[in-house]
């Protein structure tokens, strides 16, 4: 130990050397098994499904037909941030996403706060997505078997249910698949993504035959406030951009493939959202979206009077929501893995199975917590919290680009943000605009979440940070592992 230890402020804002970032992976670390196509499908899989299959019915009642503009605003915000992600991913190609980027540019305490935003973003969004799975299962059962599960076991509290069993089953299946290995998970995800893209193409092809311009009027019944509120809700479906960068430790040629995967997945997703949203709104009056379960499937049945299009779309939605849940759970486990490698969490979170090369204990803990949230918490409580965590993390990434350009101008960058510094500044402003439109209870819950994070940071993480050790590679010993139980309990209670 140093005779004169650094001050508290110095410890809070110490930055992790970028050349040290690559040391997260070692001979016993994560395996680089993903190519560009699988990485792009990972990003598409994390996004397409939430915005269209689940969130559309919440967003349209806010904005009316102008929800198309809401998708555009959310897409522009995501695009600006994606460019910033691409630059940092090409400079710091590791697992951990914006947490790792903030650690290298803005300091430890900022990175820790971002990590908790990401845990909120992934954990809560996985729960929100899983809640919607039961709706499409019921739709499928209704059309095929003329039977549906009772609301008491297929809906969350506040929506007629007590325990959402389909959501728990979904999270369990995704967790087991992730423990089989990242390569196997990526392959299955790619297949499911291609299936759901084909299903959405089918929806558009059928919906355009019933398109009526009169459904687009009045275009913006709630004005700009409604458009902004819908955009804030929709934005949670763009977490796939962040999910791509969490795969930094498992991607081949990350300096090239990470920025390409981020940009390609965003372009594909935004085009799909715009086309499907326009087709849906032109087919059905906007007032009928509120409270509509399995919305796209219901639209097809009303249009055609036949069950087969709805059955096909329900199957696509079931696969779609499965793939989104899979990728979101993957992202959360990799954030926890990166934090544990830095000594910010106990060693159990970074233990990798020798055969599958996956953090299995980490995955089981995440699966249990997400399943409990999905089983007991209503969907409308989860969505805005996810948007808040996502937007804060995205804004920090844009700030990180500007800081790194100033502090390390000669750093090798596989990709540079165009129109610098305008792009990152505008990205931050868009994020702040969407944050401002979130309801007050979201701000209160978010503040409570960060308060719990601060308590854990100052009582555990700041003392066990790898940067605090004389040895640059801190190995947390078994005596620290009992702290895991306390940490997970506090997270679940928060």
472 closest CA partner among 3, 11, 16, 29: 16
Residue 407, number of CB atoms within 10 A of its CB: 12
Contact criterion met (CB below 8 Å) for 446 and 385: yes
Residue 333 has pLDDT above 60, yes or no: yes
Q: What is the 8-class DSSP label of residue 349?
A: G
Residue 176 has pLDDT above 90, yes or no: no
Out of 33-47, 189-203, 427-441, 477-491, give the one with best mean pLDDT: 427-441
Tens of pLDDT, residue by residue over 285-322, are: 888 877 666 567 778 877 777 778 878 888 887 887 78
Q: What is the 8-class DSSP label of residue 358?
A: S
Contact criterion met (CB below 8 Å) for 371 and 172: yes
- At 412 the three-state DSSP class reads coil
The encoded tokens of residue 63 equal: 């904005």
3-state helix, strand, coil in the chain (%, to 5): 75, 0, 25
pLDDT tier for residue 399 given thresholds of 50, 70 and 90:
very high
The average pLDDT across 381-403 equals 84
Residue spans of the domains in the chain: they are: 40-493
Alpha-carbon separation of residue 210 from 63, 108, 145, 196, 319 (angstroms): 22, 54, 28, 22, 26
End-to-end CA gap in the chain: 35
Q: What is the 8-class DSSP label of residue 55?
A: S
Residue 4, number of CB atoms within 10 A of its CB: 6
Tens of pLDDT, residue by residue over 61-76, are: 888 888 888 888 888 8
The mean-pLDDT minimum among 92-96, 226-230, 285-289, 401-405 falls in 92-96
pLDDT at 427: 92
**Whole-angstrom Cα distance, residue 393 to residue 427?**
12
**Whole-angstrom Cα distance, residue 67 to residue 56?**
9
Residue 493 has pLDDT above 60, yes or no: no
- At 251 the three-state DSSP class reads strand
The encoded tokens of residue 386 equal: 């996810």
Identify which has the larger pLDDT, 438 or 129. 438
40-493 folds as Amino acid/polyamine transporter I (1.20.1740)
Alpha-carbon separation of residue 97 from 20, 104, 267, 390, 491 (angstroms): 15, 11, 20, 12, 21
Is cis: bond before 262, omega within 30 of 0? no
Over its C-alpha atoms, the chain yields an Rg (Å, rounded) of 22
Tens of pLDDT, residue by residue over 422-444, are: 999 999 998 998 898 888 888 99
**Whole-angstrom Cα distance, residue 121 to residue 274?**
23
pTM over 0.95: no
- Determine what percent of the chain is predicted with pLDDT higher than 70: 81
**Whole-angstrom Cα distance, residue 16 to residue 423?**
25
pLDDT at 481: 35
Residue 458 has pLDDT above 80, yes or no: yes
472 burial level (CB within 10 Å; 0-12, 13-18, 19+): exposed
Tens of pLDDT, residue by residue over 265-289, are: 888 888 888 888 888 888 888 888 7
Contact criterion met (CB below 8 Å) for 386 and 239: yes
């Amino acid at each position: 130990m140093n005779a004169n230890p650094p001050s508290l402020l110095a410890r809070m804002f110490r930055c992790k050397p970028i050349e040290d970032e690559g040391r997260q992976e070692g001979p016993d670390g994560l395996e680089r098994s993903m190519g560009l196509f699988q990485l792009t499908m990972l990003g598409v899989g994390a996004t397409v499904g939430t915005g269209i299959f689940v969130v559309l019915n919440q967003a349209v009642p806010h904005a009316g037909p102008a929800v198309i503009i809401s998708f555009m605003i959310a897409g522009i915000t995501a695009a600006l941030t994606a460019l910033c992600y691409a630059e940092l991913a090409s400079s710091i190609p590791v697992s951990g996403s914006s947490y790792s980027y903030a650690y290298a540019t803005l300091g430890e305490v900022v990175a820790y706060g971002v990590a908790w935003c990401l845990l909120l973003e992934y954990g809560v969004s996985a729960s929100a997505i899983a809640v919607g799975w039961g709706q499409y299962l019921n739709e499928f059962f209704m059309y095929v078997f003329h039977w549906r599960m009772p609301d008491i076991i297929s809906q969350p509290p506040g929506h007629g249910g007590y325990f959402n069993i389909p959501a728990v089953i979904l999270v369990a299946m995704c967790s087991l698949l992730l423990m089989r290995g990242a390569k196997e998970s990526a392959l299955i995800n790619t297949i499911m993504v291609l299936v759901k893209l084909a299903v959405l193409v089918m929806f558009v092809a059928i919906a355009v035959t019933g398109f009526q311009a009169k459904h687009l009027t009045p275009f913006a019944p709630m004005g700009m406030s409604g458009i902004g509120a819908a955009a804030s809700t929709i934005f949670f479906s763009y977490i796939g951009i962040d999910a791509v960068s969490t795969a930094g430790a498992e991607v081949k040629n990350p300096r090239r493939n990470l920025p390409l995967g981020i940009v390609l997945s965003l372009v594909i997703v935004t085009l799909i959202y715009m086309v499907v949203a326009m087709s849906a709104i032109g087919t059905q009056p906007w007032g009928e979206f509120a409270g509509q379960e399995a919305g796209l499937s219901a639209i097809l049945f009303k249009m055609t009077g036949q069950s087969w299009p709805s059955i096909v779309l329900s199957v696509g939605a079931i696969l779609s929501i499965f793939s989104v849940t899979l990728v979101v759970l993957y992202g959360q486990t990799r954030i926890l893995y990166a934090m544990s490698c830095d000594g910010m969490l106990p060693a159990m979170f970074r233990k990798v199975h020798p055969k599958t090369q996956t953090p299995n204990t980490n995955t089981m803990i995440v699966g249990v917590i997400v399943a409990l949230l999905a089983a007991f918490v209503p969907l409308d409580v989860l969505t805005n919290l996810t948007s808040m965590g996502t937007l804060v993390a995205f804004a920090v990434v844009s700030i990180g680009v500007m800081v790194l350009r100033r502090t390390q101008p000669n750093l090798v960058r596989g990709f540079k943000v165009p129109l610098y510094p305008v792009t990152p500044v505008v990205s931050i402003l868009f994020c702040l605009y969407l944050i401002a439109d979130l309801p007050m209870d979201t701000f209160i819950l978010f503040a409570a979440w960060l308060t719990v994070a601060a308590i854990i940071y100052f009582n555990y993480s700041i003392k066990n940070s790898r940067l605090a050790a004389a040895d640059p590679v801190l190995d947390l010993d078994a005596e620290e592992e009992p702290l895991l139980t306390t940490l997970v309990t506090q997270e679940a209670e928060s």
